[in-house]
Structure 1
Amino acid sequence: MDAINNFLLSLDTFLGSAKYFPVLLLGTGLFFTIYLKFPQIRFFGQATRIVRGKYDKKDAPGDTSHFQALTTALSGTVGTGNIGGVALALFLGGPAALFWMWLTAFMGMTTKFVEVTLSHKYRVKTKDGTMAGGPMYYMERKLNMKWLAVIFAVATVISSFGSGNMPQINSIASAIETTFHIEPWITGVVLSVLLGLVIVGGIKRIANVAEAIVPTMAIIYVIGALIVIFSNAENIAPSFVAIFSDIFTGSAAVGGFLGASVAFALEKGVARGLFSNEAGQGSAAIAHASAKGKEPASEGMVSLLEPFIDTIIICTITGLAILSSGVWNKKMDNTFAQADMTYIAGQYTEQNQQDLDSLFAYLNNETNEVKHYDGKLIIKEGKAINTDFTLINAKSIAEDVIYTKDDQPFTGELMVIDGRPDTSADVEISGKSLIHSVPLTIAAFSSALGDYGEYIVAIGLMLFAFSTAIAWSYYGDRAVIYLVGERGVLPYRLLYVSAFLAASMIDTTIVWNLAYVTVALMTIPNLFGILMLHKDMKGTVNQYWSDFKKDSTDS
């Protein structure tokens, strides 16, 4: 597992974590924002009117209504990114990461408007009579770049597992186990059966399920988060101060949090923002291609609501709940995951400024003298005897560390090689450290709502994430149809459900690292494609308003 995790981290350094990636993503959004004269502001009102059905036409080609397309796309984006992803961004980059998520969403409103408009414009009707669209179709039909279309479609299939499938069930299983003490494999089996039953029905059944689940789950979750925020009302203003004051300075060490550089906060905020709202990834464009309508730009306008709802509303509320409750920099009892642990040579403390500076540089991937520990831990009755090391877990110095085996205090030796404990010894390591992802959000809700907070997050996450997995199965379906035709759909669906089951029992950190790699694999070719079609996009928007004004005059 360590080898897989290290490979994913290495791959990510060339993709989502590379210095060019935030520039490419935000730069594309900024270019279209200026080029199209701030459509996320100018067209917002029109978007709300379209989604309410004000301009619907019964004879319009397509399979779903504007609202169903919106909720299907939202079901693909409103998921673990809103609950676990925000918590992970704050854990890694500090409060300033939330600002970069906002900026990603604001620019992403335009990016999504562009990719959905173009995908709707160049969609095709399949042999079964349903609509198929997405970036691969405008790449082939307009750009005449079949090779790029194939790359994107393959990346979509991979990403359907890596970001739409595996992180969802992994987060669900973790939350259900924490809250209701149900084994992950049981959750995996039950939800895998339900997933299979839904996706066999195709886009219409998926759209109907999404239309029912998305609004309900969003309302319940938002109400719970608002209760947490207002129960800590005195911390709301300080939370905003922390977000904005750290944008250009980075986050200093505070509590158990060891600090984050500006670059680290930007990188993690942009990456988690993209994972949350998928603007630029091209995935939602596949869902919107099924919507009934003759004007591609009208569906594009509907889609610009998604980053607003997903990130600017829901992610902000999650972030404020975590920040205002104060749990983001507090150490809590937890069992340490293998991928979160690193043993370093020597003793480091939070009370020593030189130690803090060294750990800051180490954790922010800057060159420094911190070395990984190699050697034996001598353990007696659950506690290490030797003191020539420091255990870093979840980017914090671990405290009150206990070693157990078969639920009993462990006595013996534990080998540590290049900072990693020997997994073959089957020794469980627990103690106090920072927590991240879904457990951090649960801690925030529970701080104000007790057990009810835990239930809201667990049930909300289950609905959020399950609907995301449903939507992504459709995205994968369309990509498979593009690549090999209808014959590939059944094998794909069987594999999709099997991966869903398997991921309920895999290490959380590895699953998330896989997710960020696969997101970037889709995003890079899609951004290249829409930039190439900027003139086509502007002409399509101008044509929409010309026709709209003409229809208004005629009526």
Structure 2
Amino acid sequence: MFNLIVGNINNLLWGNGQLLIYILVFAGFWFSYQLRFVQFFHFRHMFSVMKNSSKGDKAGISSFQALCTGLSARVGTGNLAGVSVAISLGGAGAIFWMWVIAFLGMATGFAESVLGQLYKVKDEHGEYRGGPAYYIQMGLNKRWLAIAFALCLFLGYGFSFSAMQANTITDALNHALNIPTLYSGLVITVLAGVIVAGGFRGIARFAELVVPFMGIAYILAALLITAMNIELVPSLLLDIFSSAFGLQEAGAGALGAAIKNGIQRGLYSNEAGAGSVPHASASASPTPNHPVAQGYVQMLGVFLDTMVLCTCTAFIILLAGIPMSGEMEGIRLTQDAMTAHIGDGGVYFVAAAISLFAFTSVVANYAYAESNLHLFKLDNKVGRSVYTFCYLAMVLWGANASLNQVWAMADMALGLMTLVNIFAIMQLTPTIKALFKNYNDKRARQQNMEFTEQDINFQGKLEDKVWSKE
């Protein structure tokens, strides 16, 4: 019965109905237009905002820590296993549609992260918390919808996503080293428990240390493999573009599979519009102290995740020239591709990469769901203990579950979250535009960039003393 319900919902959202694909593409175009194609015309400024991003304060983590926390959740199974799933089911053309949804998603990610910053609150420890549930409740005054989003978030990031990341790690280690999934699952669960005990700041510090190291190492490996096969790159790019538009023998069926799997796995990887990254954005004290500054930071996160890291995996797989069955293939396809390039060491390299990538996602997912305990007045010792126990239990379960089961549940949770979040940020478009205009007007006039709640007319209400002049 559970599998039937999950299957029917996913069929509506992702399958024959493809509801989310239309919604996400529309939202991407909508925010690109409303924000004057910020991802294109403000591309250089997106990087310049990072110059002073290492400063935080007692209430918020730094913008760089928020970026790394967002990347630690984004950069995981979607970048290695998700890309292989997209290619195995949708062909090389799925990569082009991953790029499209990432380019559009940069504007959507900007919009939701700006809102996460504006409507942030302080918890009982005086630290910033926020996310879609908060801007739905405070900006739209729809508590019932905020609760619905929070429940979907707990199902997704609190439980099923972490289970899916653990599943990928244990499968990769089993394939590379024949380690039983139960043993590796226990180790993952214990390590995750130790790190999440440090709360959001502890997770942010862990992400700040691990994410840059693992990202640079993976990019360098992909660049080396591309250089070794440079003569194949022109035909590879031709294959991606021709497959993306159904110009090969398979025709319309292949085109539909490429679009569906590229967009679905692209969203799962970069999370733009899903409502996850605003939790990291809300926890930051950006420099300059303006909500839009954090929008640029998280827009960069979408770019790095999909346009850089997912492309690295795609090149590794497609340049290997290994046969694919046409059925869903996960992390083992990436491992086999790496083995084709560098020999037996490839399977160990990917196992190590996915273990780091996915483990950082496991702990960042905890932080996102934990941010919503404040919404239910459960950000206390008892509430956190109960949530932590359930989260760790799901990590251990996921380590031993089947691939199809775990991905199906993750897809359903992500889809439901995205539906609610896109509805909310579309409703809050006037506030997003007002913030964007205020930031760029101050920048053009070289004024003090600090934001106060008197600067714009915003929807709903803000938390006392977060953005006031005092």
TM-score by length of 1: 0.77
Q: What secondary structure does 1:13 align onto? A: helix
Aligned residue in 2 for 1:536: 431
Aligned residue in 2 for 1:522: 417
Q: CA deviation at 1:201?
A: 0.6
Aligned residue in 1 for 2:333: 440
Gap change, CA 1:250 and 1:146, over 3 Å in 2: farther
**1:478 partnered with 2:371:** yes
Q: CA deviation at 1:14?
A: 1.6
Gap change, CA 1:180 and 1:127, over 3 Å in 2: same
Correspondence 1:253-268 to 2 at 5 A: 260-268=253-261
**1:248 partnered with 2:245:** yes
Aligned residue in 1 for 2:360: 467
Within 2, Cα distance between the matches of 1:326 and 1:525? 40
**1:283 partnered with 2:178:** no
Structure number, greater radius of gyration: 1
Aligned residue in 2 for 1:350: none
**1:124 partnered with 2:121:** yes
Within 2, Cα distance between the matches of 1:206 and 1:251? 46
Q: Is the 8 A contact 1:281 1:523 kept in 2?
A: yes
Q: What secondary structure does 1:164 align onto? A: helix
Aligned residue in 2 for 1:320: 315
Deviates more, 1:517-526 or 1:225-234: 225-234
Aligned residue in 1 for 2:34: 35
Q: Is the 8 A contact 1:115 1:285 kept in 2?
A: yes
Aligned residue in 2 for 1:80: 77
The residue identity in structure 1 corresponding to 2:19 is Y
For the aligned residues, what is the CA RMSD?
A: 2.1
Within 2, Cα distance between the matches of 1:21 and 1:121? 26
Q: Is the 8 A contact 2:442 2:448 kept in 1?
A: no
Aligned residue in 2 for 1:380: none
Q: Is the 8 A contact 1:22 1:267 kept in 2?
A: yes
Aligned residue in 1 for 2:110: 113
Q: Is the 8 A contact 2:274 2:418 kept in 1?
A: yes
Q: Is the 8 A contact 1:124 1:133 kept in 2?
A: yes
Deviates more, 1:42-51 or 1:265-274: 42-51
Tell me which of 81, 88, 92 is aligned to 1:91.
88
Q: What secondary structure does 1:239 align onto? A: helix
Within 1, Cα distance between the matches of 2:324 and 2:421? 40
Aligned residue in 1 for 2:408: 513
Gap change, CA 1:250 and 1:131, over 3 Å in 2: farther
Tell me which of 290, 298, 322 is aligned to 1:295.
290
The residue identity in structure 2 corresponding to 1:156 is L
Number of matched residues?
445
Within 1, Cα distance between the matches of 2:247 and 2:199? 46
Within 2, Cα distance between the matches of 1:237 and 1:204? 45
More helix by share: 2
Within 2, Cα distance between the matches of 1:156 and 1:514? 12
Within 1, Cα distance between the matches of 2:13 and 2:63? 33
Aligned residue in 2 for 1:16: 14
More strand by share: 1
The residue identity in structure 1 corresponding to 2:415 is A
Q: Deviations over 1:236-281 (max 9, x none)?
A: 111111111122226646xxxx994322221111110000000000
Gap change, CA 1:504 and 1:166, over 3 Å in 2: same
Q: Is the 8 A contact 1:322 1:440 kept in 2?
A: yes
TM-score by length of 2: 0.90
Q: CA deviation at 1:12?
A: 0.2
Correspondence 1:5-404 to 2 at 5 A: 5-17=3-15, 18-53=17-52, 62-161=59-158, 163-249=160-246, 252=249, 260-293=253-286, 294-327=289-322, 329-330=323-324, 395=327
Deviates more, 1:264-273 or 1:61-70: 61-70
Q: Is the 8 A contact 2:313 2:334 kept in 1?
A: yes
Within 2, Cα distance between the matches of 1:197 and 1:180? 25
Within 1, Cα distance between the matches of 2:41 and 2:437? 13
Q: What secondary structure does 2:260 align onto? A: helix
Within 2, Cα distance between the matches of 1:119 and 1:65? 15
The residue identity in structure 1 corresponding to 2:315 is L
Aligned residue in 1 for 2:349: 456
Between the two proteins, what is the percent identity of the paired residues?
34
The residue identity in structure 2 corresponding to 1:206 is I
Within 2, Cα distance between the matches of 1:149 and 1:535? 19
Identify unmatched segments of 5+ residues in structure 1.
332-393, 396-434
Q: What secondary structure does 2:285 align onto? A: coil
Within 2, Cα distance between the matches of 1:259 and 1:319? 22
Q: CA deviation at 1:164?
A: 2.8
The residue identity in structure 2 corresponding to 1:151 is A
Tell me which of 376, 381, 392 is aligned to 1:497.
392
Gap change, CA 1:459 and 1:260, over 3 Å in 2: farther
Q: CA deviation at 1:43?
A: 2.4
